[in-house]
Structure 1
Amino acid sequence: MGDNVKTAHIANLNGLLADAFALYIKTKNFHWHVRGPQFRDLHLLFDEQAAEIFALTDLIAERVRKNGATTHTSLGSLNADTRIKPQDRADLAPEAMIGELVADNRTFLAQLRATKDSAGEAGDNATDGIIDDWTDQCEQRIWFLSQTIA
């Protein structure tokens, strides 16, 4: 395996880590600020999804470390590497929150797939295998969110 292949794989893993943290924060933000007739259902759904995403952060970081590299070390480094756009508003309508989370989970899903590809190229069989579970979780999040606005 070449150094460029491994470097690209580590970059994908660290990008996935940054996206997971950003998606966790946004999902938790929406959990705290959702309002309206679906409050209870969305409040609980957002909390469940945030917990699931947060649990991934340690697993992703450990995959980086097991590949002999370092992870992000600060909010600044995470922010610089994420593809998830921040949302600082606390007054979004629930439908707008759901729409953002669907789009952001799709972005995360694309990064999962890119990381699976790089894991295969780098010979990182453990990451290649575990990403299937992470992909399934992400697809389920998208499905659940999409069904609330169907």
Structure 2
Amino acid sequence: MAKSTPKTSAKMDAAKVRRKAALATPTSLESNAIKDIEGAMNALLADTFALYLKTKNFHWHMSGPHFRDYHLMLDEQAEQILATTDDMAERVRKIGGTTIRSIGHIGRLQRVEDNDADFVTPQDMLAELRQDNLDFVQRMREAHDVCDEHDDVATESLIENWIDEAERRAWFLFEASRGA
């Protein structure tokens, strides 16, 4: 086994310090604001990943006479949902927070319920996703209130657009299920 030199030991010590150093992103927000917004946004991000995977699950397992229409709609919705994740995570980092690091972290924070059933009817899929999107809108409004409390208008603006997208998804899911 190679013997550690003082120079090698100093480099290892410096690396340990760097690994423990905070991610000191500059921001004008107070530390309590960062913590509050970080918490609200990370919960939304976990919900977003959970909603994405649930939407893809139903996309993959769709069946029935409207298969093609529902399959394509859910694929479009899943793409839209996934597209928001990077903006959410980067917003948390821009304000000096840290964000989700793993599937386990998502599982601990998500509020969207998984559906692991072997079979779900197409109508139940649409209804469940519609409600999940409406619930997601409500949680985004709550996160918006947190951002408003701390005068974080940039995050508020992003959330407003995501609310509009989720309301549109819920509307499409509602209309697609009306004829059944």
Q: TM-score, normalised by structure 1?
A: 0.95
Quote the residue 2:99 is aligned against. 71
| Matched residue SS, 1:15 | helix
Quote the residue 1:25 is aligned against. 53
> Residues 91-150 of structure 1, C-alpha deviation per residue, up to 9 Å, x if partnerless?
110011011101111121111111111111122111111211111101000000001122
CA contact (8 A) 1:83 1:107 kept: no
Unaligned runs of 5+ in 1: none
Residue 135 and residue 5 in structure 1: after superposition, are their counterparts in 2 closer, same or farther (change >3 A)?
same
Aligned equivalents of 1:60 and 1:53: distance in 2? Answer: 11
Aligned residues: 150
Unaligned runs of 5+ in 2: 1-28
Q: Structure 2 matches for 1:22-101, cutoff 5 A? A: 22-101=50-129
TM-aligned CA deviation for residue 10 of structure 1? 1.1
What is the aligned-residue RMSD (CA, Å)?
A: 1.2
TM-aligned CA deviation for residue 3 of structure 1? 3.8
Larger radius of gyration: 2
Sequence identity (%): 45
Deviation >4 Å, runs of 4+: none
Aligned equivalents of 2:96 and 2:176: distance in 1? Answer: 42
Bigger helix share? 1
> Residues 7-58 of structure 1, C-alpha deviation per residue, up to 9 Å, x if partnerless?
2221110000000000000000100000001100000000000000000010
Aligned equivalents of 2:126 and 2:66: distance in 1? Answer: 12
Larger displacement relative to structure 2 (113-122 or 24-33): 113-122
